[in-house]
């Protein structure tokens, strides 16, 4: 698969998995070898998680692959980032491998079918055995001062179809988006969502932050978690930092901008997560994501204070057996 362009390889892998699961005997073999079962079932944010290993947002932006990924044993799946209106994202190529570093660089740009298409897909899905999160964002052409309206639209559209929400203000691939992590715009978004949230069946709301935030931003974000009474933090998104990589500067220059994920992100994400945990206390939820490439990595993140973990790039380099490895390590 590594001989194929990364974005095409992603879709081809899903197609192969779907074909394999369509054959009953082969499906049973795959599930028995890869699915860890409901080891270490746990309750987080008032929700019953079959296990503490989740699929990070970005892998399944439009809720098209939930059935396949659930069969691999994920306890929870986070779909998105979804925006109110469809958008094609950034020009291709926009996904790159750094094989020497076990990393990816992406500048996808919130490519998705839009929230109404996602709503229709979720309505048709039926019963599910996993916890489902909805990762929501703003359209590229929505001014930051109007961004809160996009988050509200997404929240309203799929509120009855997901178990929790993640507010994404931390992708580096939508111009100006990370400015929404500043205290004033972030307070507006979270306050609007919580006002709406308390008018009906409440859903847990988490905030996904970047690993590149300053200590001052961490303080402000932690304060807002308490002030707006949201449920916690997803730490972290991808980084724009390129320090300490084994890949050559020439290769990095050819790739250009984008968010870095995978093994080099481990220390960034771990450090930010520990700071967040210290600031928000033991009662709020923290989901650890970024650089988790093994069961040992996941166990360390839990020991650092995460309630659960998510993976994405680890799947690319380690394969689907990583889910079972992590669940077993945590159990």
In three-state secondary structure terms, 126 is coil
Strands 232-235 and 259-262 come out as unpaired
Catalytic residue among 22, 33, 120, 171: 171
Angle at 75 between CA 279 and CA 225, to 5 degrees: 20
Q: Among residues 161, 181, 158, which one has the least CA distance to residue 171?
A: 181
Residue 278 CB neighbours (<10 A) = 12
What element of type H or E holds 217?
A: helix 215-227
**How many Å apart are CA 305 and CA 150, to the nearest integer?**
32
* Closest alpha carbon to 221 in 170, 282, 155, 290: 170
DSSP tag of 244? T
DSSP 87: B
Task: Say what angle helices 183-197 and 147-158 make with each other, to 10 degrees.
Answer: 30
Strand ranges (DSSP E) for 153-275? 164-168, 205-209, 232-235, 259-262
> How crowded is residue 282: how many other Cβ atoms within 10 Å of its Cβ?
8
Q: Rounded CA gap, 111 and 6, in Å?
A: 16
Backbone angles phi, psi at 121, to 5 degrees: -65, -40
Residue 309 near residue 276, CB atoms below 8 Å: no
Q: Let me know if 171 is a catalytic residue.
A: yes
The token pair at 205 is 């709301």
Residue 314, both tokens: 């680890």
Q: What are phi and psi of 245, to 5 degrees?
A: -85, 150
CA distance 58 to 64: 12
Task: Please list the active-site residues.
Answer: 171
């Amino acid at each position: 698969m590594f001989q194929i362009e990364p974005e095409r390889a992603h879709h081809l892998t899903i197609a192969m998995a779907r074909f394999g699961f369509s054959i009953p005997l082969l499906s049973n073999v795959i599930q028995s070898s890869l699915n860890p079962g409901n080891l270490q079932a746990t309750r987080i944010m008032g929700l019953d998680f079959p296990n503490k290993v989740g699929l990070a947002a970005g892998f399944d932006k439009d809720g098209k692959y939930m059935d396949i990924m659930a069969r691999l044993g994920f306890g929870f799946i986070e779909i998105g980032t979804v925006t109110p209106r469809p958008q094609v994202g950034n020009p291709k190529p926009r996904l790159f491998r750094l094989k020497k570093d076990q990393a990816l660089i992406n500048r996808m740009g919130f490519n998705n079918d839009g929230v109404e298409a996602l709503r229709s897909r979720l309505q048709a899905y039926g019963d599910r055995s996993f916890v489902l999160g909805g990762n929501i964002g703003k359209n590229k052409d929505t001014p930051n001062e109007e961004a809160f309206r996009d988050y509200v639209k997404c929240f309203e559209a799929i509120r009855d179809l997901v178990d929790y929400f993640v507010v994404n203000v931390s992708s580096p691939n939508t111009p100006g988006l990370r400015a929404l992590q500043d205290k004033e715009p972030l307070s507006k978004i979270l306050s609007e969502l919580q006002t709406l949230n308390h008018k009906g069946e409440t859903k847990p709301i988490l905030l996904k932050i970047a690993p590149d935030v300053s200590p001052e931003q961490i303080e402000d974000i932690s304060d807002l978690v308490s002030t707006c009474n949201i449920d916690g933090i997803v730490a972290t998104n991808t980084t724009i930092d390129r320090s300490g990589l084994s890949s050559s500067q020439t290769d990095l220059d050819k790739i250009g901008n984008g968010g870095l994920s995978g093994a080099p992100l481990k220390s960034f994400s771990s450090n930010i997560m520990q700071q967040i945990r210290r600031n928000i206390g033991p009662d709020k939820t923290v989901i650890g994501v970024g650089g988790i490439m093994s069961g040992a990595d996941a166990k360390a993140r839990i020991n650092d204070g995460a309630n659960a973990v998510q993976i994405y790039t680890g799947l690319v380099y380690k394969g689907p057996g990583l889910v079972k490895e992590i669940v077993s390590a945590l159990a």
